[in-house]
Amino acid sequence: MNESIALQAERIEVGAIEYSSFSSTINGHYHNAKIVVLMDTNTHDLCWNWLQTTVNVLQRTQMIVVPPGEENKTISVCTQVWEALLEYELSRHDLLINLGGGLITDMGGFIASVFKRGIDFINIPTSLLGMIDASFGGKNGVNFFGFKNQLGVFQHPIATYIDKRFLHTLPAEHIKNGWAEIIKHALIGDRELWHSIVQLETLSDDISNDIFERSLSIKITVVAADPHERGMRKILNFGHTIGHALEAYFLTRQYLAHGHAVALGIIAECYIARKLKKLATDDFVQITTFLKKHFHIPKIDHLAVAEIVQLLHSDKKNYGGQIQCAFIDKIGNCLYDQAVTEEICAESLQFLFFNTPEA
Amino acid sequence: MNESIALQAERIEVGAIEYSSFSSTINGHYHNAKIVVLMDTNTHDLCWNWLQTTVNVLQRTQMIVVPPGEENKTISVCTQVWEALLEYELSRHDLLINLGGGLITDMGGFIASVFKRGIDFINIPTSLLGMIDASFGGKNGVNFFGFKNQLGVFQHPIATYIDKRFLHTLPAEHIKNGWAEIIKHALIGDRELWHSIVQLETLSDDISNDIFERSLSIKITVVAADPHERGMRKILNFGHTIGHALEAYFLTRQYLAHGHAVALGIIAECYIARKLKKLATDDFVQITTFLKKHFHIPKIDHLAVAEIVQLLHSDKKNYGGQIQCAFIDKIGNCLYDQAVTEEICAESLQFLFFNTPEA
């Protein structure tokens, strides 16, 4: 498939990049522009050579390579990249290409949006999470003082080119990471998609076009309806209230990938939804059983629960000091702006990590 | 006068702040919001007490005080402010008020626009330069590696409240600073305004309402026509190509205020315009004589000229490696996207600092 999907100012193309509009864009509008490709050491080693060979126009680019990992998604790494962009004498008319997973497209989008009050950027996601979620929709940012994406802006890339062949460069754990967002999309907006997913034996890199595109189209539809997250876009945060707190908690401890954290967040937030009598027990059991089967539950100390609850207070969605959550009331439909108490959040973590109280 | 001027998403009110919409805005939309006031030590000492007494709603705010001076308009000071905002647990729905000159509104606008992907901010300019120019129009940013405003975004404040009584808190040199932008506005867009100005004996804080409002309305009109500086907004950069390079050069040496640098930049850029046979000699002589009378020309070494020319290469307006300049072809009209050579820029600096070649 080589498909182009319109999302407001943003262009998303799915398919082999050499048959996409990528080369003609570079040779056309950016004919005279300087082009810098931002990548991390992983995408440098696994993706860059292949991409440069496949798409000749990339021969004339400069590259900036940053260290991988969520712990490097910081303003200090941004500062180093901005310094390099200054050294390359990049002007407002030049272009940044972000080649990588969510970390690179999140951070690179922020770097471009702020440099000289904004230069154009193109995203080429290489991870499943990036393809299905992070690389489009206009949100970018970096972590700050251990809190997720606290600094950033809303700014769409000029275009996002999604080439699924990059998926074969990824370890299995990374693939699962992306599946968490596919599952989230199904749960908030597409019951049929959920039924396709729940029948799968494994969550592998062999993703059917049908599942891939249905998942993509949910995010695209939601973002187009509410690009700046004033209202219904908040349903995309399902699993992310608890998920982000878990990610922040584990940032300084063992590694917990974003998608993995979201999968765990979905379990906890489904617990909350059921406890508040919004979600039926059948749905709850089906979802949590499936997720607990496919996503490892890390070991934590009982005392950690209070610490994770504290981290919920830095969530960007909070309002008037209250924790705000999005959760589903049935598979395929999601509520948002739901105020929840610290107590119920703590209880949901008890369920997630210790299976108490019993479901 | 208590006047409200509409500029797209932005509201500008001129007059006594206690009779403006300020208090009703705070009590209305931001009734439940946390409010933080950003100021520097100067505005803290000279403006804050008076403002808090004059406008009661400010009693319930937190304050953040940063050191004054262009050398503190940095990403590192932003980082400290973001840290403080996190400590105050500011949410997306809360408000930052910037109380100060161009430094505070430029930096504060950037801080707010990036924190949690953007919180609302209100500007209360206290300097003439801020009132006439920096505090509205949507440009914000900080310096980076000694280059002016290299990091920033376009984002309008919710409102700008211009209360001229703050002008009496300023030293004479600061007032002159603002006059440079008033003069620029006259030269690029209002020949009559120029004629009023050129008759003045001194450039004091006693500015007639007529001059103040005519100057303001030029910037407002230009920004409304081209908010993102794709075209004609570039005329507001008249005097700023050479001006920014001068400011950057002096940043690590003696202090050169922004307005002062712009006044010197106007002299140099008028030289360029005349040399390129765009500007008539009469106009050129009248402008440069007036500016050299009112603005001190700092002493520099002949060798500095080459260094200043080098700094021109980081100007945000450059395109395809060429220095781009805006200059007037007559008093009241300005051209933009004018490519200029290093040689003519060097010559204009010779004229500015050493009066050679003779005008």
CA distance, residue A33 to nearest chain B CA (Å): 7
* pLDDT surpasses 60 at A1: no
* pLDDT surpasses 70 at A120: yes
Quick: pLDDT tens for B263-285.
999 999 999 999 999 999 999 99
Across the strands, what pairs with B36? B62, B96
Nearest CA in chain B to A315: B91
Quick: pLDDT tens for A25-60.
999 999 999 999 999 999 999 999 999 999 999 998
Closest CA to A241 of A329, A339, A132, A145: A339
Quick: pLDDT tens for B176-220.
999 999 999 999 999 999 999 999 999 999 999 999 999 999 999
pLDDT at B314: 76
Quick: pLDDT tens for A56-75.
999 989 999 999 998 899 99
Partner residue facing B116 (CB), from A93, A118, A316: A316
Q: What is the Cα–Cα distance from A167 to A207, expressed in whole angstroms?
A: 10
* pLDDT surpasses 90 at B6: no
Q: Which residues of A touch B141 (CB under 8 A)?
A: 117
Q: Which residues of B touch A118 (CB under 8 A)?
A: 153-154
Q: Which residues of A touch B248 (CB under 8 A)?
A: none
Under 8 Å CB pairs connecting chains A and B tally to 89
Quick: pLDDT tens for A77-102.
999 999 999 999 999 999 999 999 99
pLDDT band of A123, cuts 50, 70, 90? very high
* pLDDT surpasses 70 at B5: no
Question: Are the Cβ atoms of A86 and B145 closer than 8 angstroms?
Answer: yes
Question: Are the Cβ atoms of A314 and B89 closer than 8 angstroms?
Answer: yes
CA distance, residue A283 to nearest chain B CA (Å): 33
Higher pLDDT, A316 or A288: A288
pLDDT band of A152, cuts 50, 70, 90? very high
Q: Average of pLDDT values for A106-116?
A: 98
Nearest CA in chain A to B86: A314
CA distance, residue A111 to nearest chain B CA (Å): 9
Question: Are the Cβ atoms of A117 and B145 closer than 8 angstroms?
Answer: no
Closest CA to A271 of A349, A330, A155, A173: A349
pLDDT at A2: 66
Residue B129 contacts residue B258 (beta carbons within 8 Å): yes
CA distance, residue A173 to nearest chain B CA (Å): 29
Partner residue facing B117 (CB), from A91, A117, A154: A154
Nearest CA in chain B to A34: B320
Is the torsion defined by CA of B37, B39, B43, B49 positive or negative?
positive
Q: What is the Cα–Cα distance from B307 to B312, expressed in whole angstroms?
A: 9
Q: Left (φ > 0), alpha (ψ -120 to 50) or beta: where does B140 sit? A: beta
Q: Which residues of A touch B95 (CB under 8 A)?
A: none
Question: Are the Cβ atoms of B321 and A145 closer than 8 angstroms?
Answer: no
pLDDT band of B317, cuts 50, 70, 90? confident
Nearest CA in chain A to B106: A117
Token pair for B289: 């004589």
Nearest CA in chain A to B154: A117
Token pair for B27: 């009590």
Lowest mean pLDDT among A347-351, B111-115, B318-322: B318-322
* pLDDT surpasses 90 at B358: no
Mean pLDDT of chain A: 94
Quick: pLDDT tens for B69-110.
988 999 999 999 999 999 999 999 999 999 999 999 999 999
CA distance, residue B287 to nearest chain A CA (Å): 31
Angle at A149 between CA A123 and CA A233, to 5 degrees: 75
Partner residue facing A91 (CB), from B92, B141, B318: B318
Partner residue facing B113 (CB), from A149, A153, A316: A153
Question: Are the Cβ atoms of B86 and A152 closer than 8 angstroms?
Answer: no
Residues from B in contact with A at Cβ < 8 Å? 32, 75, 79, 82-83, 86, 89, 91-93, 113-118, 139, 141, 144-145, 147, 149-154, 313-314, 316-321
Partner residue facing B32 (CB), from A86, A144, A320: A320
Which residues, including other chains, have CB under 8 Å from residue A280's CB and lie 6 or more apart? A274, A330
Alpha carbon separation from B4 to A140, A299, A349, B290 (Å, rounded): 35, 60, 52, 33
Burial of A298 (0-12, 13-18, 19+ CB in 10 A): middle
Residues from A in contact with B at Cβ < 8 Å? 32, 75, 79, 82-83, 86, 89, 91-93, 113-118, 139, 141, 144-145, 147, 149-154, 313-314, 316-321
pLDDT at A46: 96
* pLDDT surpasses 80 at A111: yes
* pLDDT surpasses 60 at A7: no
Nearest CA in chain B to A92: B316
pLDDT at A8: 52
Partner residue facing A117 (CB), from B116, B118, B141: B141
Which residues, including other chains, have CB under 8 Å from residue A66's CB and lie 6 or more apart? A38, A39, A40, A41, A72, A77, A80, A81, A104, A107
* Percentage above 70 pLDDT, chain B: 97
pLDDT at A47: 97
Q: Which residues of A touch B75 (CB under 8 A)?
A: 75, 79
Q: Average of pLDDT values for B17-42?
A: 96
Nearest CA in chain A to B323: A91
Q: Which residues of B touch A114 (CB under 8 A)?
A: 114, 151-153
How would you write chain B as a 3-class SS string? Answer: CCEEEEECCEEEEECCHHHCCHHHHHHCCCCCCCEEEEEEHHHHHHHHHHHHHHCHHHHHCEEEEECCCHHHCCHHHHHHHHHHHHHCCCCCCCEEEEEECHHHHHHHHHHHHHECCCCEEEEEECCHHHHHHHCCCCECCEEECCEEEEECCECCCCEEEECHHHHHHCCHHHHHHHHHHHHHHHHHHCHHHHHHHHCCCCCCCCCCHHHHHHHHHHHHHHHHHCCCCCCHHHHHHCCHHHHHHHHHHHHCCCCCCHHHHHHHHHHHHHHHHHHCCCCCHHHHHHHHHHHHHHCCCCCCCCCHHHHHHHHHHHCCCCECCEEEEEEEEECCEEEEEEEECHHHHHHHHHHHHHCCCCC
Burial of A57 (0-12, 13-18, 19+ CB in 10 A): middle
Alpha carbon separation from B176 to A174, B170, B183, B242, B259 (Å, rounded): 59, 10, 10, 18, 7
Lowest mean pLDDT among A234-238, A287-291, B2-6, B237-241: B2-6
Q: Which residues of A touch B139 (CB under 8 A)?
A: 117
Residue B121 contacts residue B112 (beta carbons within 8 Å): yes
pLDDT band of B306, cuts 50, 70, 90? very high
pLDDT at A316: 73
